[in-house]
Amino acid sequence: MILRIALPLALMSSLVNAQDVERRIDALLSRMTLEEKLGQMSQSTSMRTPISEPIRDEIRKGRWGSFLNAGSPADRAEAQRIALKESRLGIPLVFGRDVIHGYHTIFPIPLGQSASWDPELIRDAARIAAREAAGEGIQWTFAPMIDIARDPRWGRVAETLGEDPYLTSALGAAMVRGFQGGSLASPDAVAACAKHYVGYGAAEGGRDYNSTWIPEILLRQVYLPSFRAARDAGVATFMTSFNALNGVPATGNRFTLRQVLRDEWKYDGMVVSDYTAVTEMIPHGYAADNADAAREAALAGVDMEMVSTTYFDHMKALIQSKQVDAKLIDDAVRNILRLKFRLGLFDNRPQPAAETRPVAEALDTARRLAVESVVLLKNEGNLLPISASIGKVAVIGPLADSPTDQMGTWVMDGRAQDVQTPLAALRRMLGPDRLVYARALRNSRDNTHDGFAAAADAARNADLALLFLGEEQILSGEAHSRAFLTLPGAQEALVEEIAKAGKPIVAVILAGRPLTFQGASSRAGAVLYAWHPGTMGGPAIADLLFGRAAPSGKLTITFPRTVGQVPIYYSHLNTGRPPSPGELGIPMGNPVEPKGYTSKYLDVDFTPEYPFGYGLSYTAFEYSNLRLSGATLRSGGTLTVSADVANTGTREADEVAQFYIRDLVASVVQPVRALKGFRRVHLKPGEKQTVQFTLTANDLAFYNEQAKLVTEPGRFQVWVAPDSARGVPGEFTLE
Ligand code: GLC
C-alpha cells in the first residue's frame, strides 16, 4: 500500500526548489577551483567609486564573494556585471550593508522601536528598509541586532531591542520577516542577519568588545533565545560577535557555532564573521597567527570572512598540511552559494543602478513608529499635552535642530536633508510669532555657558520652555561606551538656568541609551524620552507634545538612578536577603538585633529610576479582576489568565498590557518576574477590555543545573501589569 501524503502545493514547490538548489550547488561546486572557493568565502569593503582596475580584475578572478558597505548603486551594478559576465563561472556577488534601522527613511533606533512593543509596525518598517535597500542593489542587511543588553554604559545598547529575551525574540523575528518578506528571491527582499552571535551585550563593564563570562544556563536562558527565534523565523545568515565567550572568541567558538547552531538547531544558513573578527583572535590570545586564526574560524564553522583575508591567504596550506579538511571548505561554500541561490542572484535578480528617494508611505510609517516609540516618563499636573492656544513657547537646546543626531547611530544612507527636526515641526505648528528658539549649546557635549543668557531670556518671555536634552549620535553606538550616564556637557546647568525663569518646563530627551537626569527631571513638569527618533522624529514629537497623538511607549530597558547600580534589570533573582521597598540608608539597629542586612545600597534606593515596561499616558488605565481558568496547570494542558484593563481617564489612548510569571521554587532559582506575553489595547475614555494570556507547561520551562530544558511542578505567581513593578497578581500550581 502506497501511503500518499498530499503536501500543500507551496510546501511541495519549496521542497522541489530546495532540491533543485542543492543540485545546482553540487554542479557548480564540482567545477570550482580551491581559489574560487576561497574567493567566495571572502568579503571585502574595498570597492570605491569608480571601481578600480585591480578590484575589477579581482572580481573577474572570483577573488571576492561579497562586498559590504561599498560603492554606489551604479558601482554595484557594474561589479555584478563583471562577476556575471566576465568571471570564469559567472558566480554573482552578494552586496551586504548595515541597514540597521532604515535605509533612506530612518526609523527610530532599535532600542526606541522596541519601546513601541509593536511587532507588526516594526516588521513594516523593516519591510520598507528592505524595499529601499534592495532598490539600490543591496541584497543582505546586517540586522537585526538581537543581543540582550543590561548595561546602558555599552554604546551598542542603542541597536538592541532591550533587556528581555522574550520581547527581543518577538521583535527580532518581526524584523527578520520584514527584511526577508515572503521570498528571499523577491527583488524587494534582503537577507537578514542575526547578530552578534553570541553574548556580546554582556561585555564586562559595559565596555565594547570586552570579555563575557556567561554560564551555559544563563546563555541558554537569556542570550540564545532571540537567536533561536530568528532561526525559527528563517533568518538567512548569522554574524559572529567580537567578544570572547567564557574565554573562547565567538568567532572560533565550536560550542555555539557547531554544537548549538548547527547540531541542535539544524541551521542551514550562512555564517559570516564580524569585521576582522577572525584576525582579532590573535590579540584575544586564542590564535598564534593569521593561519591559526583561519584554522580556528574554519573549524568552528565561519563560512565567510569579513574584511580580513586569512582564508584566502592561508587555507590552501592548511588543507595541504591536513589542519583543515577540504570538506569544511565545500560546506562553507555550499552555505554561501545556497544564500545566493535563495536570493535569486543566479536567476537574473535585478541589480538596480539608480538612487531612490523615500516615498510618502515610508515617511508615514516612520512617523507612526516614532510616535509609538516615545515614552512619557513624567507628566505632573497633566502639563502635557500643551494647549493649542498657548501664547509663546521657548524651544531650547541643540538637539531640537540636529538632523544627524536625530537619526542616531548606524545610519549610512539616511539623508540629513530628509530629516524633519522638532524645531521645524514646531515652527510649522505654532508659526513664527509663537515660538522662539535658543540653541544654548553648540552640541550636547558643549561645556560653555555662553548661550545660557539668550536661552533664559527666551524662557522668561515665553509661557513654557521646551528643553531638548540628551546625547548626540556620536556618543552612541559601536565603540562609544560611557562610564557615566549623565547628561553630557553643561546640560544640567542649562536646566538650572532655565528653571530660574519660573516658567513650566517640558524636557524632551533624545539619546541612544538610558541616561540619568535627576536634576532635569526635578525641574521639568513633564519628560518625554524620544531616543534617536529618525527622519520623522520632529513631527512625531510635535504631535505628542500638542496631543495630536498620545504616548504609548513602554521602556524595554531598565533606567538606573545612578550608573553605580548597573547592571540592573527587572528579571533579577531575589537573593536570600531581598531588601524591602524603600529600604535605604544606614540601619539604626543595634548589634544585638541587626537591621538592614539586606541586598541594598546605603546611599541610593536599590530600585530603578524607571522599571522595565514603564510608560505613562495622557489618560489613566486601571488593571483589575484577574482570573484564571483554573488553579492548576497540568502537563499537556493550558491555563488562561485574564484581566480587565479600563481607561479611567479622559483621553483615548493605547496601552501595552504585560503578562509576567514567577516560578516560586525551582532547582535553579528563577527571576522575580519573567515576561511571557503582551497585548496592545486601544481604549476610549470609560471603555474596558479583557486581555487574555494562555500558558502551557512549556512556557514555564527553564534550564536546570545540567543546562537541560525542564519544567518542575510547583507554585507560580502571575501578573497582568502596566509595567514590571506593578500589576494585578494571581497564583496557580503546575502539576
Ligand atoms: C561592525 C559591527 C557589525 C557590522 C559590521 C559591518 O564592526 O560590529 O555590527 O554589521 O562591522 O559594518
Q: Phi/psi class of residue 532: alpha, beta or left (left: φ > 0; alpha: ψ in -120 to 50)? A: beta
Ligand 1, atom 6: nearest CA belongs to which residue? 275
User: How far, in Å, is the centroid of ligand 1 from the Cα of 70?
Assistant: 13
State whether the beta carbon of 45 lies less than 6 angstroms from ligand 1. no
**Which pLDDT score is estimated for 3?**
45
pLDDT for 584 beyond 80: no
Task: Quick: pLDDT tens for 176-223.
Answer: 999 999 999 999 999 999 999 999 999 999 999 999 999 999 999 999
How many CB atoms neighbour CB 650 within 10 A?
A: 11
Please check whether residues 393 and 495 belong to one and the same domain. yes
**% residues pLDDT > 90 (the chain):** 94
Same domain, 657 and 694: yes
689 lines ligand 1 (CB under 6 A): no
Q: Which amino acid is at 176?
A: V
Does 627 lie in the same domain as 591? no
Residues 588 and 714 in one domain: no
Closest ligand 1 atom, CA of 275? 11
- Based on the domain organization, do 381 and 495 belong to the same domain? yes
Together in a domain, 449 and 591: no
CA-closest candidate to residue 230, choices 165, 275, 295: 165
- 188 catalytic per annotation: no
Q: Which of 542, 544, 537 is nearest to 403 (CA)?
A: 537
**327 within some domain:** no
Active-site residue among 151, 164, 274, 401? 274
pLDDT > 70 fraction of the chain, expressed in percent and rounded? 96
Region 83-109 average pLDDT: 98
- C-beta 532 within 6 A of ligand 1: no
Distance from residue 510's CA to the centre of ligand 1 (Å): 24
67 CB near ligand 1 (under 6 Å): no
HSE of 299, CA atoms in CB hemisphere, 13 A = 17
* 654 Cβ closer than 6 Å to some ligand 1 atom: no
For residue 15, the model assigns a pLDDT of: 65
CA of 196 to the centre of ligand 1 (A): 9
Roughly what angle, to the nearest 10 degrees, separates helices 9-29 and 326-342? 130
> Is 286 contained in some domain?
no
> In the predicted model, what is the mean pLDDT of residues 171-176?
98
Q: Which atom of ligand 1 is nearest to the CA of 96?
A: 6
Domain of 537, CATH number, reads 3.40.50.1700
pLDDT tens for 492-547 read 999 999 999 999 999 999 999 999 999 999 999 999 999 999 999 999 999 999 99
| Cβ contact 284:249 at 8 Å | yes
* Beta carbon of 274 within 6 Å of any ligand 1 atom: yes
Q: What is the per-residue pLDDT for 589?
A: 59
Q: Are residues 603 and 686 in the same domain?
A: no
Question: Which of 275, 480, 481 to probe ligand 1 with, by most ligand atoms within 8 A of CB?
Answer: 275
- For residue range 107-129, list pLDDT tens digits in order: 999 999 999 999 999 999 999 99
Q: Is the CB of 275 under 6 A from ligand 1?
A: yes
CA distance 368 to 351: 31
Is 142 close to ligand 1, i.e. is its CB under 6 Å away?
A: yes
Quick one: 628 and 686 in the same domain?
A: yes
The grid cell for 669 is 532559582
Same domain, 377 and 507: yes
Q: Which of 66, 68, 98, 156 to mutate for ligand 1's pocket (most ligand atoms within 8 Å of CB)?
A: 98
List the one residue out of 430, 423, 394 whose CA is nearest residue 538: 423
pLDDT tops 70 at residue 590: no
Calculate how far, in angstroms, residue 573's C-alpha sits from the geometric centre of ligand 1: 33
Ligand 1 centroid to Cα of residue 159, in Å, is 11
Judge if the beta carbon of residue 159 lies within 6 A of ligand 1. no
Strands 714-721, 674-683: pairing kind: unpaired
Residue 220's identity, in one-letter code, is R
639: CB partners within 8 A, 6+ apart: 628, 629, 630, 632, 633, 694, 695, 696, 732
What mean pLDDT is predicted for residues 291-319?
Answer: 98
Q: Is the pLDDT of residue 463 over 70?
A: yes
Cβ–ligand 1 distance for 69 under 6 Å, the answer yes
* 495 within domain boundaries: yes
What is the average pLDDT score of the chain? 96
CA dist list (Å): 196 to 123, 164, 226, 249, 305: 20, 16, 11, 12, 15
To the nearest 10 degrees (0 to 180), the angle between helices 452-460 and 491-499 is: 30
Structure-block grid coordinates of residue 45: 569593503
Q: Among 142, 193, 411, name the best residue to mutate to test ligand 1's pocket (greatest count of ligand atoms within 8 A of Cβ).
A: 142
Determine whether the shortest distance from the Cβ of 195 to ligand 1 is under 6 A: yes
CA of 275 to the centre of ligand 1 (A): 6
CA of 579 to the centre of ligand 1 (A): 41
pLDDT in tens, 244-278: 999 999 999 999 999 999 999 999 999 999 999 99
Domain presence at residue 589: yes
Atom of ligand 1 nearest to the CA of 145: 9
Ligand 1 midpoint to CA 44 (Å): 13
Q: Which domain range does residue 691 map to?
A: 621-734
Q: Do residues 27 and 304 lie in contact, with contact meaning Cβ atoms separated by under 8 Å? A: no
Are 420 and 501 members of one domain? Answer: yes
Task: Give the CA count within 13 Å in the CB-facing half-sphere of 90.
Answer: 7
What is the CA(347)–ligand 1 centre distance, in A? 29
3-class SS at 110? helix
Query: Rounded to the nearest 5 degrees, what angle is found at the Cα of 702, between the Cα atoms of 701 and 704?
Result: 130
CATH number of the domain to which 725 belongs: 2.60.40.10
- State whether 719 and 586 are in the same domain: no
> Over the stretch 664-708, which tens digit does the pLDDT of each residue have?
999 999 999 999 999 999 999 999 999 999 999 999 999 999 999
Other Cβ atoms less than 10 A from the Cβ of 585: the count is 12
98: Cβ below 6 Å to ligand 1?
A: yes
C-beta 405 within 6 A of ligand 1:
no
The answer to whether residue 592 scores a pLDDT higher than 70 is no
Indicate which atom in ligand 1 lies nearest the CA of residue 142: 10
Distance (Å) from CA 277 to ligand 1 centroid? 10
| pLDDT over threshold 70, residue 614 | yes
Tell me: the pLDDT tens digits for 12-57?
A: 666 668 889 999 999 999 999 999 999 999 999 999 999 999 999 9
Instruction: Please indicate, yes or no, if residue 553 is contained in any of the structural domains.
Output: no
Of 607, 634, 657, the residue at which a domain comes to its end is: 607
Q: Are residues 635 and 700 in the same domain?
A: yes
pLDDT of residue 2: 44
Domain presence at residue 214: no
Distance 671 CA to ligand 1 centre (A): 32
Rounded to a whole number of angstroms, the distance between the first and last alpha carbons of the chain is: 43
Is 208 touching ligand 1 by the criterion CB < 6 Å? no
Q: What angle do CA 316, 84, 74 make, to 5 degrees?
A: 110
Q: Other CB atoms closer than 10 Å to residue 667's CB: what's the count?
A: 12
Place of cell 518576574: 673
How many structural domains comprise the chain? 3
Say what the pTM is. 0.97
* Residue 147 in contact with ligand 1 by CB distance below 6 A: no
pLDDT in tens, 322-370: 999 999 999 999 999 999 999 999 999 999 999 989 899 999 999 999 9
Question: Which atom belonging to ligand 1 lies closest to the Cα atom of 98?
Answer: 10
Residue 586's pLDDT is 67
Whether 344 contacts 184, CB under 8 Å? yes
The residue whose CA is least distant from atom 3 of ligand 1 is 274
Per the CB < 8 A criterion, the answer to whether 101 and 410 are in contact is yes
Task: Give, for 140, the enclosing helix (H) or strand (E).
Answer: strand 140-141
Which bin fits 276, alpha (ψ -120 to 50), beta or left (φ > 0)?
Answer: left
* Domain-located, residue 440: yes
Which protein residue's CA is at the shortest distance from atom 11 of ligand 1? 275
Reduced to 3 states (helix: H, G, I; strand: E, B; else coil), residue 367 is helix
Judge contact between 378 and 525, C-beta under 8 A.
Answer: yes
Q: What is the DSSP code (8-state) at residue 72?
A: -
Q: Is 340 in the pocket of ligand 1 (CB under 6 A)?
A: no
- pLDDT, position 1: 45
Check if 276 has its Cβ closer than 6 Å to any atom of ligand 1. Answer: no
Cell numbers 511541495 label which residue? 12
Q: Are strands 237-240 and 526-529 parallel, antiparallel or unpaired?
A: unpaired
Residue with cell 553574548: 199
Q: Residue 640 falls within a domain, yes or no? A: yes
Distance 170 CA to ligand 1 centre (A): 23
Q: What is the pLDDT of residue 635?
A: 87
The closest residue, in CA terms, to atom 12 on ligand 1 is 98
What average pLDDT does this structure show over 432-447? 97
